[in-house]
Amino acid sequence: MTGIKSEKDIYKDLLPQLDKINFKQILWGEDLVNYKLVIYPQRITDIPYYNKISKYMVSIGIVYINPGANQKVKPISVMLNWSDREIYIEGNTLHKVWKYLRTSVQRGIDMATVNRKFIRIVTPEDILVTKYIKMAKSDFNKMLHLPEKGRMNNVSGSDPEKDYIYYYARDGKEYHDKDCEKIRNMMPETVCTAKSIPIGIIPCPKCQKMLYLRELCNPFYSDMKDVDRILTRGKIDEKQVKKLINNYGMRMHTDIDGNLIVLCNEDVWKIEGLEHESFSLWHNNYVRTGQSDRKKTSGYHIHEIRKTTLEGILKYISGYSFEKHLEAETL
């Protein structure tokens, strides 16, 4: 598997075609090995939690290659959640282009293997996120031209995570996390749910940490274990987590590279160097639209601070505001 060329090199003579396309960012199929492709049925606004992630969405283009067409290099329009490297694509659009994109993603996998570059996928289908698709596995496989016994075994008609975070017995004195063993031992008809902390009852001491983590990672529940590991290593205890949530409205998740993404107030931050505690802090990009206004754009820029602990960085983030930043500029 030597000498694998990038499609960007193979089709470089056709690149001028893309210069006429009005996208702020272009990704090629081979680049998708570092992203997740989230499939939604019809309207992106119908997916759960869209109102929470919409402010991190930007429109970008994905290039796919159709060698048999007159215009071999074509882009499609998708939405990128740049804070989490998730690309949202409508199901019918994916149906039309997946057989071409799949070839390009496989090329990206092969290039990473040859170059000994770590990626988190083994097959092209591993980039697909299907939790919003309401159809049988066999129908989904046919839609993407996959074999009946393909890898897509997790197509589900329901979102695995609900809006409800707090669970408690009808006459109980404690509220619990959904995975608490006490909940599993209750009769289903006695279990009540709530989106906010139930009044008049106390948290279960056994699952209190998990409750805080679930609130902290909402709606990125699949990142709870990674965030827990990062906070534990950084010596951030339950009391501190509770303060970050309640006092500052902070939310966290991890990106595909294992970096910690922190959402606080109107800003998004990325903390790198977690494994070796050689921290670097990155701040969401933005452009100034007025004397005291700004508009966030995709990507991050390095943010120079003299903090050597995770606690210190999170404290800095919780106290940051664009207004304070402008005040500091005038000093």
Q: What is the pLDDT of residues 110-157, one digit of tens each?
A: 998 888 787 778 889 989 988 887 655 566 666 666 654 444 444 443
Is 318 inside a domain boundary? yes
Query: Is residue 135 within 8 Å of 159, Cβ to Cβ?
Result: no
User: Which of 11-20, 86-95, 317-326 has the least mean pLDDT?
Assistant: 11-20
Is 151 inside a domain boundary? no
- Whether residue 169 sits in one domain with residue 67: no
Checking DSSP bridges between strand 57-65 and strand 26-28, what pairing results, if any?
parallel
Q: State how many domains the chain has.
A: 3
Highest mean pLDDT among 95-99, 185-189, 221-225: 95-99
- Whether residue 99 sits in one domain with residue 69: yes
Is 301 inside a domain boundary? yes
How high is the pLDDT of residue 258? 86
> Would you say residue 164 has pLDDT above 70?
no
Is 2 inside a domain boundary? no
- Whether residue 326 sits in one domain with residue 300: yes
- Whether residue 60 sits in one domain with residue 13: yes
- Whether residue 233 sits in one domain with residue 199: no
- Whether residue 246 sits in one domain with residue 198: no
Which residue segment(s) compose the domain that 78 sits in? 7-143
pTM equals 0.58
End-to-end Cα, the chain, rounded Å: 58
- Whether residue 139 sits in one domain with residue 20: yes
Average pLDDT of the segment spanning 189-217: 88
- Whether residue 178 sits in one domain with residue 138: no
Residue 151 burial (CB count, 10 A)? 14
- Whether residue 187 sits in one domain with residue 241: no
Cα(156)–Cα(121) distance, rounded to whole angstroms?
Answer: 21
Query: Is residue 51 within 8 Å of 268, Cβ to Cβ?
Result: no
Q: Amino acid identity, residue 227?
A: V
Query: Is residue 99 within 8 Å of 317, Cβ to Cβ?
Result: no
Q: 312 to each of 236, 264, 281, 301, 305, how far by Cα in Å? A: 10, 15, 11, 19, 10
- Whether residue 126 sits in one domain with residue 77: yes
- Whether residue 31 sits in one domain with residue 129: yes
Query: Is residue 300 within 8 Å of 316, Cβ to Cβ?
Result: no
- And the tokens for 190? 């006695």
pLDDT band at residue 13 under the 50/70/90 scheme: confident
pLDDT band at residue 158 under the 50/70/90 scheme: very low
Cα(53)–Cα(328) distance, rounded to whole angstroms?
Answer: 30
How high is the pLDDT of residue 218? 80
Closest to 32 measured CA to CA, from 78, 93, 91: 78
- And the tokens for 142? 């046919």
Cα(225)–Cα(204) distance, rounded to whole angstroms?
Answer: 19
Residue 251 burial (CB count, 10 A)? 20
Q: Residue 7 — φ and ψ, nearest 5°?
A: -65, -25
User: Which of 118-132, 255-269, 300-314 has the least mean pLDDT?
Assistant: 118-132
Residue located via tokens 């882009």: 75
Query: Is residue 174 within 8 Å of 168, Cβ to Cβ?
Result: yes
Query: Is residue 290 within 8 Å of 254, Cβ to Cβ?
Result: no
- Tell me, rounded to whole angstroms, the distance of Cα 126 from its chain centroid: 15
